[in-house]
Chains A and B, each alone.
Chain A
Amino acid sequence: MAALQTARTIWSGWKGARHPVLSFAVRRILTIPVLLLIISFLVFSLTYLAPGSAVTALLGGRPSTPQAIAQLETEYHLNGSLLHRYLGWLGGAVHLQLGDSIRTSQPVVQVIQSSLGVTIYLAIYAFILTIVVGTGLGFLAAMRSRRAADRIISGASVIGISAPAFASGIILLYVFAEVLGIFPVYGLGSGFFSEFWHLTLPAVALSVSGMALVVKLTRASMIEVLDRDYVLFARARGLARSRILFSYVLRNGMIPVVTAGGLIVIYLLTSAVLVEVTFAIPGTGSLLVQSIDFKDIPVIQGLTLALAALILAANLVTDGLYLLLDPRIRGGLTWQPSR
């Protein structure tokens, strides 16, 4: 009880702290383990409740005997109640021992490391493409509003938003790998630059939808900001065009894009699976699908937790950026009425 009381004191202390940004960040970070615990239990019980068993998958339809099945169940800790098995898993997990994959017998940490690296590389590559190309084109469209360039960019982004990643992937493969022969069709290569080369088409395929969204958001937001009185006033004051664009228009116009940025990271991480399958890249998406098919609980648990942690971190960073960009929101964080 005392511990709880202390926690409450600390909590309320943070709530009313002098540094609203810091207290916000600490509160958000403290909730992450709680969320991860809830997610781990939900995923574990859903996998547990789903029909089928890893032993059936392991045996691959081979004739078997009850003894052989019992032996495999013991080997992979597949007997016992839901709670018993979950607590067993949790006991290991708090010591960062996530066990071995049932499907491949490799340590889960190793399995996740090898696939997560690829997916993060791919997601960062695609994210940079999305943001740089997306805001660039959106900005251009806003500046050339209702002229030819704007029409072309806006039209293309409608197509981009509606194109599923696997379809654009196949089209890109056909054009750039098959007809033009510039890029490899599949695989990852080895070494940073080879991987960069191999991941270019996948990253483009993955970024198309998000890019189109960023174009639309940037364009709409920029057009709105360009119409604001303070922009007109800045022009009237005779400020340099570049200063108006970068300090006034871009900074204010980027707020919705930054918000979308968090969503885009989540989108890139989760829809990587389609692109990974098309380009035969051994990332987390394809790993997760295979593990779910196999009821490979240790990998499913480890991987969903790693992805959940990444997504929570992405949200945290987004909100942090949001605060940096918009001082008004910083003020709104404190619980006292604003001065």
Chain B
Amino acid sequence: MKYATDSAIARVSRRGFLGASLASGALVAAGCSTSSNSPSAKSGSSGASLDSLTWSFNQVATNLDPIKAGDLPSEAAISSSVQGLVVYNAAGVVEPYLAESWTHPDPITWVFNIRPGVRFWDGTVMTMEDVLYSIDRLLHGNGTIFGGLFSTVTSVKQTGTMQLTIKLSSPNPEFLGLANFLFVGQKAYTEKNNSTLGSPGTLGMFTGPYILENYVPNESVTLTRFDGYWGQKGAAKTVTFQFITDDNTRRLALQSGQLDGGFNVPPTDIASWRQISNIDLVVKPNLQIGYLSMDVKQSPWSDVHVRRAVAHCVDQAGIVKSIMGGVPTAATSITPPGEWAPLGMSASEALTAYQNFQHYPFDIAMAKAELKQSAFPNGFTATLPVPPTPPYLSSIAQSIAQNLKQIGITLNIENVQENEYEAGFFTSKKNTGIQILENGPTVDDPSDFPTIMLGQAGIVGGGWNTANYVNPKVQELIAQESAATKPSERIAAITEMLNIASQDVPYVMNYWNEGAMAISSNLTYPGFHAAWYCIQPWAAQISPA
């Protein structure tokens, strides 16, 4: 979504806008690397365990009730405590979690075998009653934000001692990935504290490797290790997850050893953070995409030659290198190459497949030639609204506007507030014009972005088809790939819809983004995935190096 950050979920910006604007002066950049630092990890005697771990995020968690946790810091705050039926591993592939196995007998049926003997933090054993209650609360509970995501679920039934069967109204190959959100909490505790769950005092009763011990809103969440956990236990006895919205402050705290690490390092800060001697930066693809969206129902964007001319004016290499510090990759299609892994296709195979698509190299002469074929050979004037976060969107917009000027298109950049930006095109799909966006994945699957951005179903309030793009052939391919059972059939259908999109260019792709984590040199976190860390039990996966 727009500012998503490395989001597990396409999401509205939890703006770190203050953080961003305050961080603008690199006031402390000079001289920082000279200070000596104490080792930040408070290692235990053997080196295999830690007394404490202090981790950070540059936004503030909003809500720790899993059915209301809609932003990255909230998800990350509870992801070592709250468990779903499945989880993503470091490669972005679905693994068993509270479900130890599953079958998919027909395109609309999913059968999960629930892990027996799992204990809640109070020692009681998780039952099917807890599972059914929790899923019902997630789908229909008061204030749930998952109602829409699971709207195709028609029934959830117990079909064996520890077996759960979920039926859908229509085929959805992404459903297994979505099952990571099917969190299980203790029914008795949740019923008793239904409306205050996630607030200080009633943080919940779950099964994960870390107990939600304490929560100071807007400041921190404290976790303690759960020794009765069924899986791999964590190294740290206590973990503090600290919210520090100013990245300059975060940097100083890392440097002085008061923090052991943190998620969501802004791409533009990566180069300078690498200078911190006691900290390592881990940068990996986070499955976020940055792009321009043009309303194909609205003049002048309805003219395909105009859209192609715009595509020729985007200097991807320059944007990546000069504006985004060389971190992301220039995008050659909608789907990030890393999202093909669940279908058994590697990133390099995906890039090879993308070579057959229509491409629009940065070339002003070609852009001019393309515009000559349109109904606006001499150009026109239009407005591009730009939200305040992430801060680099504005620079990218300026760069594109400068290039467009050379072919006669005057693109006025209008800085708008986040709310206004969302209301302008995201909530209502009328006259969306040209937009600049950043969007993160909902599930790890190659169909994730193309179906919501190209499918007709995405043309609703809150939908991601911001270009109002409709193509019967694409609709057919979406239906085909949803119902397909073999990965090869899905690969063929998804590749074809991406190819069609490359010719119709409702979206001009700018980059595939990467996400960064800072971690003390004394620690290691091999399972880090830049998109899915916020639903992984990260606190249990970080250990002394």
A and B form one complex? yes
Binding site for B on A (CB under 8 A): 50-53, 56-69, 71-72, 75-76, 103-106, 111, 114-115, 166-167, 170-171, 173-174, 177-179, 181, 184-188, 273-274, 277-282, 286-287, 289-290, 293-295
Please give, as numbers and ranges, the residues of chain A lying within 8 Å of B445 by CB-CB distance.
none
**Chain B: how many interface residues by the 8 Å CB criterion?**
75
**Contact A178–B249 (Cβ < 8 Å):** no
**Contact B252–A174 (Cβ < 8 Å):** yes
**Contact B199–A106 (Cβ < 8 Å):** yes
Max chain B Cβ within 10 angstroms of own Cβ: one of A50, A281, A286, A290: A290
B interface secondary structure, majority? loop
Please give, as numbers and ranges, the residues of chain A lying within 8 Å of B10 by CB-CB distance.
60-63
**Contact B217–A105 (Cβ < 8 Å):** no
Question: Bound state CA distance, A284 and B449, in angstroms?
Answer: 38
Please give, as numbers and ranges, the residues of chain B lying within 8 Å of A282 by CB-CB distance.
216-219
Please give, as numbers and ranges, the residues of chain A lying within 8 Å of B137 by CB-CB distance.
none
Question: Bound state CA distance, A179 and B252, in angstroms?
Answer: 10
How far in angstroms is the closest Cβ of chain B from A332? 44
**Contact B19–A62 (Cβ < 8 Å):** no
A-B contact pairs, 23 of them (CB 8 A): A53-B419, A60-B9, A60-B12, A61-B7, A62-B10, A62-B462, A64-B149, A65-B151, A75-B143, A76-B143, A103-B62, A104-B199, A106-B199, A106-B217, A166-B22, A170-B27, A174-B28, A186-B242, A188-B219, A277-B246, A278-B246, A286-B245, A293-B14
Please give, as numbers and ranges, the residues of chain B lying within 8 Å of A72 by CB-CB distance.
143, 145, 147
B460 at the interface (CB under 8 A from A): yes
**Contact B244–A280 (Cβ < 8 Å):** yes
**Contact A167–B25 (Cβ < 8 Å):** yes
A interface secondary structure, majority? helix
Please give, as numbers and ranges, the residues of chain B lying within 8 Å of A177 by CB-CB distance.
252, 256
**Contact A178–B35 (Cβ < 8 Å):** yes
**Contact B218–A185 (Cβ < 8 Å):** no
Question: Bound state CA distance, A71 and B68, in angstroms?
Answer: 13
Given contacts A62-B70, A178-B32, A185-B252, 11 further A-B contacts (CB under 8 A): A61-B426, A61-B440, A62-B11, A69-B148, A72-B143, A104-B199, A114-B217, A170-B27, A185-B256, A277-B19, A289-B18
Question: Bound state CA distance, A115 and B70, in angstroms?
Answer: 22
Question: Bound state CA distance, A25 and B12, in angstroms?
Answer: 48
B142 at the interface (CB under 8 A from A): yes
Using known A-B contacts A173-B252, A177-B252, determine if residue A68 contacts B219 with beta carbons closer than 8 Å: no
Say which residue of B148, B245, B418 sits within 8 Å of A65 (CB atoms). B148
How far in angstroms is the closest Cβ of chain A from B271? 19
Using known A-B contacts A61-B11, A166-B22, determine if residue A56 contacts B249 with beta carbons closer than 8 Å: no
Please give, as numbers and ranges, the residues of chain A lying within 8 Å of B147 by CB-CB distance.
64-65, 67-68, 71-72
Say which residue of A59, A187, A279 sits within 8 Å of B70 (CB atoms). A59
How far in angstroms is the closest Cβ of chain A from B415? 14
How far in angstroms is the closest Cβ of chain A from B199? 5
Q: Which residue of B lies closest to A59 (CB)?
A: B145
Using known A-B contacts A104-B217, A166-B22, determine if residue A280 contacts B63 with beta carbons closer than 8 Å: no
Question: Bound state CA distance, A148 and B195, in angstroms?
Answer: 65
Q: Which residue of B lies closest to A188 (CB)?
A: B219
Please give, as numbers and ranges, the residues of chain A lying within 8 Å of B461 by CB-CB distance.
64, 66, 69
Q: Which residue of A lies closest to B75 (CB)?
A: A60
Q: Which 7 A-B pairs have the closest CB atoms?
A: A52-B419, A64-B148, A68-B147, A60-B70, A60-B11, A61-B1, A282-B218
Please give, as numbers and ranges, the residues of chain B lying within 8 Å of A106 by CB-CB distance.
196, 199-200, 217
Please give, as numbers and ranges, the residues of chain A lying within 8 Å of B142 by CB-CB distance.
75
Using known A-B contacts A61-B11, A69-B461, A171-B27, determine if residue A286 contacts B60 with beta carbons closer than 8 Å: yes
CB-CB contacts below 8 Å: B381-431 with A: 417-420, 422-424, 426-427
Question: Bound state CA distance, A60 and B420, in angstroms?
Answer: 15
Say which residue of A68, A115, A186 sits within 8 Å of B249 (CB atoms). A186
CB-CB contacts below 8 Å: B229-267 with A: 242-246, 248-250, 252-253, 255-256, 258
B65 at the interface (CB under 8 A from A): yes
